[in-house]
Amino acid sequence: MLMKYQQILEEIHKEVVPLLGDGKVADYIPELAKVDPGKFGIYLLFLNEEAYYIGDAHEKFSIQSISKVFMLALTVAHLGEKVYERVNVEPSGDPFNSLVQLEYECGIPRNPFINSGALVITDLMISHLNNPKEELLSFIRELVGQEDICYNETIAASEKACGFKNAAMVNLMKSFGNIKNDVEEVLDLYFDFCSIEMNCNELARAFRVFANHGKGVIDAKRYITESQFKRMTAIMQTCGFYDEAGEFAFRVGLPGKSGVGGGIAAILPGEYSIVVWSPGLNPKGNSLAGMKALELFTTKTGTSIF
């Protein structure tokens, strides 16, 4: 039987509308506090170019921690397994900005998708790329296939103005010798990375490369190796949703990454990428309606990695 994906997205939209007022936007970042919590969009993109969407799927938002997937992909493409000498690959089980765990484990972050891990990745990028700020943006633009993907300087400045815990993490890791570059340079670049703005359509196109085992769909260009894809996908599955990764695996069953801007990008390898955006967050920092929408999608379509 032919799956009616557009009808399924419309059903999901109706079912999650009551949740749109229940989540809380990330108001600890002043610029994100201004976002309308009633926004909601989904974009579903298959490897064969079929696409379905609903709601605010073409409105740009701050991707925040979803950028950590692109940061890791670009870094492992350059450095390979050496990346994992500086950052581990275990779920944290603690909040994404925990200092206690970082000190207990001698400045080695649990994984690349918590803040401390992404700060180490940022440090690696500074050490090994000629112009990491421009190279990451070029990398994402190439994955999407368009040039109007940009940083939001206002959001980056807003994050820097209140990024005290991130500053504490960098300095703590510096004291353990796991940050090699200037602390302020690492922080500035990290906040830039988090400020990237994309919409559901653009994120789905970028993540389709990961759904296609690390290579382009149209030109078959390989961005990461099969081995690197396998490891990155495993980290997305086990560490991509802060300390709620187990719940996401249990309810949704797809590898992916969330961000406190309300976005969630996920993939079914070999099949599709799907992105949902709803700015209202649950207490763990994941999109409340977004998680429910993806749970409904994999339930209604019978698709997951399990």
- Give the per-residue pLDDT at 96: 60
Helix (H/G/I), strand (E/B), else coil: 43: strand
Binning pLDDT at 50, 70 and 90, where does residue 203 land?
Answer: very high
Amino acid 81 reads E
Mean pLDDT of 260-271: 98
Q: Model confidence over 43-63: pLDDT tens digits?
A: 999 999 999 999 999 999 999
Helices 164-175 and 183-194, axial angle in degrees (round to 10): 140
Q: Is 213 in the same domain as 291? A: yes
Q: Model confidence over 204-253: pLDDT tens digits?
A: 999 999 999 999 998 999 999 999 999 999 999 999 998 899 999 999 99
- Give the per-residue pLDDT at 3: 87
CB 69 within 8 A of CB 258: no
- pTM given for the model: 0.96
Q: Which of 168, 194, 220 is the last residue of a domain?
A: 194
Q: Is 114 in the same domain as 209? A: no
CB 305 within 8 A of CB 255: yes
| Element holding 265 (H helix, E strand) | strand 263-268
Cα–Cα–Cα angle for 293, 252, 301, nearest 5°?
70
In a domain, 306, yes or no: no
Q: Is 105 in the same domain as 135? A: yes
| Bind-site residues | 65, 115, 159, 166, 190, 242, 260
Beta-sheet pairing, 256-258 with 41-46: unpaired
Q: Is 21 in the same domain as 89? A: no
Residue 135 has pLDDT above 60, yes or no: yes
Query: Is pLDDT larger for residue 196 or for residue 242?
Result: 196
Q: Which domain holds residue 52?
A: 5-61+199-301
Domain count of the chain?
2
| Bind-site residues for substrate | 65, 115, 159, 166, 190, 242, 260
In a domain, 48, yes or no: yes
H helices, E strands: number in the chain: 12, 7
- Give the per-residue pLDDT at 101: 86
- As a whole-number percent, the residues of the chain with pLDDT over 70 amount to 98
Mean pLDDT of 128-151: 98
What CATH number corresponds to the domain at position 211? 3.40.710.10
- Give the per-residue pLDDT at 215: 96
Q: Is 102 in the same domain as 164? A: yes
- Give the per-residue pLDDT at 97: 64
Binning pLDDT at 50, 70 and 90, where does residue 95 land?
Answer: low
Please report which residue ranges of 24-81 form alpha helices under DSSP H. Answer: 67-79
- As a whole-number percent, the residues of the chain with pLDDT over 90 amount to 93
Residue 158 has pLDDT above 80, yes or no: yes
Residue 92 has pLDDT above 90, yes or no: no
Mean pLDDT of 113-142: 98
Q: Which of 146, 177, 194 is the last residue of a domain?
A: 194
Lowest mean pLDDT among 168-172, 242-246, 292-296: 242-246
